[in-house]
Amino acid sequence: MSTPQAENITMSAGGRYSLATAGARDVIDGATKLVVRAIGEVPVAAVDGVFTMSDMGCADGGTSLGMVRTAIGAVRERFGRAAVKVVYADQPRNDFNALARIVHGLGGFDGYLEEFDGVFPLFSATSFYRAIVPPGGLHLGFSATAMHWLSGKPGDLAAHVHAVGAVGDEREKFAAQARADWQTILLRRAEELAPGGQLVLVVFCMDERGRYLGNTGGVNMFARFNALWRGFVEEGAVTEGEYRAMTLPQFYRTVEEFRAPFEGEGAAARAGLELLEMETRVVPCPFAAYFKMHGDADKFATAYIPTLRTWSESVFYGALSTARAGGERRAIVDNFYRAYGDEVRNHPDGHAMDYVHAYMRIRKTR
Amino acid sequence: MSTPQAENITMSAGGRYSLATAGARDVIDGATKLVVRAIGEVPVAAVDGVFTMSDMGCADGGTSLGMVRTAIGAVRERFGRAAVKVVYADQPRNDFNALARIVHGLGGFDGYLEEFDGVFPLFSATSFYRAIVPPGGLHLGFSATAMHWLSGKPGDLAAHVHAVGAVGDEREKFAAQARADWQTILLRRAEELAPGGQLVLVVFCMDERGRYLGNTGGVNMFARFNALWRGFVEEGAVTEGEYRAMTLPQFYRTVEEFRAPFEGEGAAARAGLELLEMETRVVPCPFAAYFKMHGDADKFATAYIPTLRTWSESVFYGALSTARAGGERRAIVDNFYRAYGDEVRNHPDGHAMDYVHAYMRIRKTR
């Protein structure tokens, strides 16, 4: 890519996100039962001709096509001929061109628009830290694998790339930011939701056994990220400052942290939100599962690395000094994923990006 | 550009459309009074907490930023704290990345989101030949310089690139398509509009004196397009089939053609639409006006050609055989605009892409 926009790398363009992230689709498919249950409990009186749902942090929309199709079917079953607005939201540097084409059937995926009349897809570049739709008009808010991204980075970590490796004050800063951000997310949703409207939120977590993304018993993915990146400093490929700047603005909350604002005088409870159900689930890495069948380490590495790359690349790139030529920054990032790929090729066992999520269903009671 | 998407050229990317089309912005600014008048007549009772407006054929949204800002101000004055949804719509191959960034203030233009609370921009990839928002929820539908694009091409012209140069049966086919399309556009809007909602439509036309885009007394732009493109056939640069395939799917309707569906038992009248006012206006080409001041033909040509190119390039490109290598098609298109530029450089007088529009204000009466 040689366009000026390529400087602002976010998700990979043109549907590749969906192809590279079969696991993300499995996660959403696993939430579809919750979505159907939520729609079944939205009061009929709350929907006056239009049912509005949102997909927050939708990326290119490819992974949620099946969920949205099922949701529309459930809406039609319960609310008859109500029009359905599907509001896809992601941050302004998302690939909205890919999103528009995929949702409208030009992206090589089976869409749902051909199947239904009266469905109105809309796209929003408003962050889920703000209200995306006007007050009181949302019937179902959905989000998968997005709300672990913090609203900002509370600081650079001295010795790790992710808060899962932080300790002491550094960890507490991230935890505090995550607490504040979770509250903001819920309060904005409380504004958006119609009385009786529901949320289905699927958020990366640290589960009851301490597991989290890429750390479910085998190789710890973030530890490898960190070790390889640290190695780049030692080789002189990146500076100490660039090493530190590569701090992912993410946090994996525990179920206790998710639950806190709903309890007692918590902010979500006061805003009329009720946590109806929550469970944690591990969705196995499809690439590692496939590797167990075929046993070809090279094939595994070639397929596996892009799925790590989709969501981490822009942060590595952004950590590199803008004083470097654009091509140099890109080359370092390429080298980084090549090094990770080589490691997987040479020692494939235990590598897996298993997904660890909390699945929550929440109701606006008034 | 070397991305796969570059094959699908539409508007130029990343805000260049807005910079190259100061005239288009002048056209919209000239419609802003009509927008304010329309908002002032929408019944207060029709707006229950949310005012919804649309900008159909918005391209990258840059040219309408000022109009939208003024519209929001007018809404706040009349409807108090009502939330405002601004639905930007264009076809699925529009540059939605540029649109999202410009509307959210990342595109180098002054946005309006900082000025107001409770404003919700939404993007739609639904064509204005279909309903963009659910029935009965639209309060103001706006469109500028978009609805001359037909829903499809009724045929290839044998001896011209545009219906303005067609005669006999060929012309009648385009006129019939334009009649059917205008009716479809109005009927879909009649579905979308709330009772008392209004439309402000600014559409390229053939005015009462036979003037149209690029044909206001000087050089006829489409005649030059055609002569140069014909010349490419004679030089052997393009084939006869490619010449014919370069037929713009556009039609410039007359005021009588715009008015017809509102009269008597016309389809728009039966759907409850009333044409409140219509006038035609010529907005002078800013590049030709500037040339009159500086007199530098090279400077004029360099600035002028990109504004022609933004909206015509994809059609020239699409007319070229896909059997040609991608680079060859692009080179022919580059040569075409270079030839037009050379002509302007050598004989600058009379070249001007003056805009000729019908400005209409329409009300949904029930």
Exposure string for A137-173, b = 16+ CB within 10 A, e = fewer: bbbbbbbbbbbbbbbebbeebeebbbbbbbeeebbeb
Q: In this complex, how many residue pairs, one in chain A and one in chain B, have their CB atoms less than 8 Å apart?
A: 106
What is the least distance, in Å, from the CA of A253 to any CA of chain B? 30
Measure the CA–CA gap between B287 and B21, rounded to whole angstroms. Answer: 10
Q: What does chain A come to in residues?
A: 366
B188 touches A at CB < 8 Å: no
Facing B122 at nearest CB: one of A4, A83, A123: A123
Is a pLDDT exceeding 50 seen at residue A5?
A: no
CA distance B58 to chain A (A): 14
**A144 part of contact set with chain B, CB < 8 Å:** no
| ipTM entry | 0.90
Q: CA of A4: which chain B residue's CA is closest?
A: B14
pLDDT tens digits in sequence order for chain B, 366 residues long: 233 232 222 333 444 444 456 788 889 988 999 999 999 999 999 999 999 999 999 999 998 999 999 999 999 999 999 999 999 999 999 999 999 999 999 977 778 999 999 999 999 999 999 999 999 999 999 999 999 999 999 999 999 999 999 999 999 999 999 999 999 999 999 999 999 999 999 999 999 999 999 999 999 999 999 999 999 999 999 999 999 999 999 999 999 999 999 999 999 999 999 999 999 999 999 899 889 999 999 999 999 999 899 889 999 999 999 999 879 999 999 999 999 999 999 999 999 999 999 999 999 998
Can you state the percent helix, strand and coil of chain B, rounding each to 5? 45, 20, 35
Contact call for A125 and B123, based on CB within 8 A: yes
Whether A136 and A196 have beta carbons less than 8 Å apart is answered as no
Alpha carbons A181 and B243: distance in angstroms, whole number: 59
Neighbours of B32 (CB within 10 A): 19
Strand partners, B214: none
Q: Is A119 near chain B, with CB under 8 Å?
A: no
CA-based radius of gyration for chain B: 21
Q: Is A127 on the interface with B (CB under 8 A)?
A: no
Alpha-carbon distances, residue B4 vs A3, A98, B9 (angstroms)? 12, 12, 10
In 3D space, the residue among A74, A267, A73, A240 whose CA is nearest the CA of residue A186 turns out to be: A267
Please state the separation of Cα B238 from the chain's center in Å: 28
pLDDT single digits (tens) A286-302: 899 889 999 999 999 99
Chain B partners of A106 at a C-beta cutoff of 8 Å? Answer: 92-93
The tokens describing A102, both together, are 């995929």
- Please indicate if any CB of chain B lies within 8 Å of the CB of A13: yes
Please state the rounded mean pLDDT for residues A300-328: 92
Give the DSSP letter of residue A45.
Answer: G
Nearest residue to B132 (alpha-carbon basis) of A113, A297, A139: A113
Residues A293 and A278: their CA atoms lie apart, in Å, by 33
Calculate the alpha carbon distances from A131 to A107, B79, B235, B236 in Å: 29, 20, 59, 58
User: Which residue in chain A has the smallest CA separation from B123?
Assistant: A123
Q: Which residues of chain B make contact with A83, given a CB cutoff of 8 A? A: 134-135
From the number of C-beta atoms within 10 Å of its C-beta (0-12, 13-18, 19+), residue B4 rates as: exposed
Record the pTM: 0.91
A95 in contact with B, Cβ within 8 Å? yes
Q: Under an 8 A CB cutoff, do A134 and B83 touch?
A: yes
